[in-house]
């Protein structure tokens, strides 16, 4: 009769050891150079701020158009959304969020307008 007892490490144990080594590598990398090391690795994966703001505005305009109105009242949600200012996107890549407006310039202050009249035919009051 043969002795069929396994000798050595199982595959599960090898996978756990490999994951542990990877986690230790990440911890050492973070401790020695912070997130800078990892952010350099992913710095080529950038989204242009203008295109992010444009997509947000297009989505809002589509939702507004689905309601079938051409005038935006000053007391509505759509006035603040389409005609108001937003400060949630870095438009010029300097690391600071910039103010912009989808269609209007409230209070006489000129902010970059993201959408044209043809793209979003809203009249801001």
pLDDT digits (tens, 9 = 90+) for 49-107: 788 888 888 888 888 888 776 666 666 777 778 888 888 787 777 778 888 888 876 55
Task: Show me where the domains of the chain are located.
Answer: 1-45, 49-124
Per residue in 7-40, pLDDT tens?
A: 677 888 889 999 999 999 888 877 777 666 666 6
Chain centroid to CA 67: how far? 27
* pTM confidence score: 0.53
Please, are residues 72 and 121 in contact by the beta-carbon 8 Å criterion? no
**pLDDT band at 114, cuts 50/70/90?**
confident
26 token code pair:
């990440």
């Amino acid at each position: 009769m043969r002795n069929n007892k396994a000798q050595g490490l199982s595959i599960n144990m090898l996978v756990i050891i490999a994951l542990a080594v990877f986690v230790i590598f990440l911890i050492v990398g973070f401790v020695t150079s912070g997130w800078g090391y990892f952010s350099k690795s992913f710095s080529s994966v950038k989204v242009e701020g203008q295109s992010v703001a444009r997509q947000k505005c297009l989505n809002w305009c589509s939702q507004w158009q689905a309601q079938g109105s051409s005038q935006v009242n000053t007391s509505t949600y759509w006035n603040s959304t389409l005609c108001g200012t937003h400060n949630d996107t870095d438009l010029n890549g300097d690391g600071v969020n910039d103010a912009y407006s989808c269609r209007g310039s409230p209070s006489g202050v000129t902010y970059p307008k993201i959408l044209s009249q043809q793209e979003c035919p809203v009249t801001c009051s």
